[in-house]
Amino acid sequence: MNVLKLFNLRGVRIPNHKEKTKDLKVESLKAAKYLYYPMDMHIGKPAEPGVTVGDPVKIGTLIGESEGGISTNIHASVSGTVVSIEEDESSGVKTVVIENDYRDEKVTLEDLDTEPSIEDFMKRLEAAGITGKGGAGFPAHIKYDMEQDKARYLVINGAECEPYSTADHRCMVEYADEIVKIIQLIVKIYEVNAAYIAVEEDMAGSREALDRALSENSAEKIFLHDLPTVYPQGHGALQIHEILGIEIEEGERSGDIGVLQSNVSTVKAIYDAVFKNEPFYKRIITVTGPMIKNPKNVMVRLGTRVEDIIEACGGFLDEVRLNISGGPMMGKSFEDLSLAVDKDTTTLLFLKRYPKEEERACIRCAKCVNSCPVSLQPILISNAYRNREYDLGIDLKSKSCISCGICTYICPSRIDLLEDIQKLNKELEGRNDE
Ligand code: SF4
Ligand code: SF4
């Protein structure tokens, strides 16, 4: 059995670039005239539209029905009318388009018991369409599908380790009371031994807000756990090892070892679903980077196009940019500004675009090896891919790569090691599918 060795160097210190937005209060963005809801705004199977053109909707109307398994419900984030349902020619994924009537009429979910059973709690997460808000987009009701006698710990991730991102930080500063209250309920429902909220040691504001909320709510069994500000301390398996000393075996999920794990913004969404009967239809995102005029943390309705958000942030400073959804280490670059905010969007980052540096020969400095948080040998895996020795990738445990990007970031020869590792893993997956 492979065990990830997570206690190597536990990541690297990189400039966090959070100073521009960490103290900015979350602004509620005025909803746009048209909202776009791709039915694949989560991982897994796309939802199926549950509305037709001409249907009136309110905030909270179910417009996309989960296809079961890893899939999730999608709700309208404005009131108005369904004006079209577009289908992508290549993927077949449908997008529901709603014209906003600016009345902000709402429908809510039914009341839930103040102390719901695990089953009712999971049903609520499913009905509300809650997915992990840290970027992974995994349906929360599947994560929380755990029997009471199996659940031992709850770990809440408030360590937002990607540079530039401050959405989780602001969520903790501004919604600490709600976060603590829902954690108290989850602790009660699952009867876990203890809950830990992981916070980064140099994000003082969120720590203080949570500390205050814990004491005001006389919270028992809930502890703050300071993590050093190193990347990638936000990774789930690393956090579990750091906080609980438990190692996760290759292929295991946190639930397999009795640990319920969520991001702080996800538990805030769970609070809204349980205490306010609201489905997941809005989220906090950070809009930042040197190329945006007015960086902000914004509360934005799902389905809002990036171009509408840019306008609300004063526009760009330069048209030559690198646009990234997510952080600079694990985010994805994109060109199309008509893309809509989905359930996974955490940050919109706009960087200066520099010419790509030429790759040079490996100088065998071993920086990639010494920095890998899961003790892999990135250069050897990269060589295995380039030499088409795919089986060697298995021996080198390439599948254990958590795609943190440190090896590529740190390599002085500018070798895109992560890209090679991902390509090798794709080759191996393709082989399994044959
Ligand atoms: S991207 Fe993968 S191989 Fe590279 S440092 Fe991160 S975990 Fe290690
Ligand atoms: S960090 Fe780059 S140059 Fe150094 S050993 Fe790894 S691949 Fe080679």
- pLDDT (tens digit per residue) in 104-145: 999 999 999 999 999 999 999 999 999 986 666 789 999 999
Of ligand 1's atoms, which has the minimum distance to the CA of residue 404? 6
- The residue-averaged pLDDT of 191-212 equals 94
Mean pLDDT of the 213-218 span = 98
Testing ligand 1's pocket by substitution, the residue of 402, 410, 417, 425 carrying the most ligand atoms inside 8 A of its CB is 402
Pocket test for ligand 2, best of 9, 12, 357, 362 (most atoms within 8 A of CB): 362
Q: What is the mean pLDDT of residues 374-392?
A: 96
| Closest protein CA for atom 8 of ligand 1 | 372
Above 90 in pLDDT, residue 309? Answer: yes
The pLDDT tens digits of the residues spanning 58-105 come to: 999 999 999 888 999 999 999 999 999 999 999 999 999 999 999 999
The residues near 317 (Cβ < 8 Å, ≥ 6 apart) are 290, 291, 292, 293
Q: What is the pLDDT of residue 235?
A: 86
Set out the domains of the chain in order of their start, with CATH numbers. Answer: 27-108+280-352 (3.10.20.600), 118-275 (3.40.50.11540), 367-433 (no CATH)
Residue 312, pLDDT > 70, answer yes
* Whole-angstrom distance, CA of residue 180 vs CA of residue 219: 8
Q: Ligand 2, closest atom to CA 379?
A: 7
- Judge whether 39 and 74 are in contact, CB under 8 Å: yes
Q: Do 49 and 64 touch, CB atoms closer than 8 A? A: yes
pLDDT beyond 70 at 239: yes
Strands across the sheet containing 62-65? 48-49, 62-65, 74-75
Ligand 1 atom, smallest distance to 232 CA? 6
- The pLDDT, as a whole number, for residue 201 is 86
Say whether pLDDT at 291 is over 90. Answer: yes
405 ligand 1 Cβ < 6 A? yes
Ligand 1 proximity of 407 Cβ (cutoff 6 Å): yes
Question: Does the beta carbon of 238 lie inside 6 Å of ligand 1?
Answer: no
CA of 367 relative to ligand 2 center, distance in Å: 6
Q: What is the pLDDT of residue 163?
A: 95
Check if the beta carbon of residue 3 is closer than 8 Å to that of residue 367. Answer: no
Please tell me the residue having the least CA distance from ligand 2 atom 1: 411
For residue range 160-176, list pLDDT tens digits in order.
999 999 999 999 999 99
Structure confidence at residue 228 as a pLDDT band (50, 70, 90): confident
Handedness of CA 425, 66, 276, 259 (dihedral sign): negative
Label residue 179 by pLDDT band (50, 70, 90). very high
- Out of 365, 380, 416, give the residue to mutate to test ligand 2, the one with the largest number of ligand atoms within 8 Å of its CB: 365
Q: Is 211 exposed, middle or buried (0-12, 13-18, 19+ CB in 10 A)?
A: middle
Beta-strand pair 222-227/74-75: unpaired
Q: Tell whether ligand 1 has an atom less than 6 A from the beta carbon of residue 421.
A: yes
pLDDT(255) > 90: no
pLDDT at 434 over 90: no
Q: Tell which wins on pLDDT, 252 or 104.
A: 104
Q: Is the pLDDT of residue 9 over 60?
A: no
- Quote the pLDDT of residue 10: 57
CA distance 359 to 290: 26
Question: How do residues 24-56 score in pLDDT, each as one tens digit?
Answer: 999 999 999 999 999 999 888 999 999 999 999
Which of residues 359 and 136 earns the better pLDDT score? Answer: 359
> Using a 6 Å cutoff on CB, does residue 401 contact ligand 1?
yes
How many whole angstroms from 421 Cα to the centroid of ligand 1?
Answer: 8
CB of 11 shorter than 6 A to ligand 1: no
Share of the chain above pLDDT 90, in %: 81
Residue of minimum CA distance from atom 6 in ligand 2: 368
Cβ atoms of 65 and 45 closer than 8 Å: no
Task: Find out whether the beta carbon of 370 lies less than 6 Å from any atom of ligand 1.
Answer: no
Other CB atoms closer than 10 Å to residue 243's CB: what's the count?
18
* The predicted structure's pLDDT at residue 101: 98
From the list 218, 107, 162, the residue with the least C-alpha distance to 347 is 162
Ligand closest to Cα of 237 equals 1
Strand partners, 296: 287
Share of the chain above pLDDT 70, in %: 96
Q: Whose CA is nearest to atom 4 of ligand 1?
A: 407
- pLDDT category at 7 given cuts 50, 70, 90 is very low
Question: Which atom of ligand 2 is closest in space to residue 367's alpha carbon?
Answer: 1
Q: Whose CA is nearest to atom 5 of ligand 1?
A: 372
Q: Taking 70 as the threshold, does the pLDDT of residue 4 lie above it?
A: no
- Ligand closest to Cα of 413 equals 2
Residue 11 pLDDT exceeds 90 = no
- For the sheet containing 194-200, what is the strand order? 222-227, 194-200, 153-158, 259-263
Q: Which ligand is nearest to the CA of 369?
A: 2
Å from CA of 135 to ligand 1 middle: 18
Residues with CB under 6 A from ligand 2: 362-368, 379, 410-413, 415, 417
Once rounded to an integer, what is the mean pLDDT over residues 223-239? 89
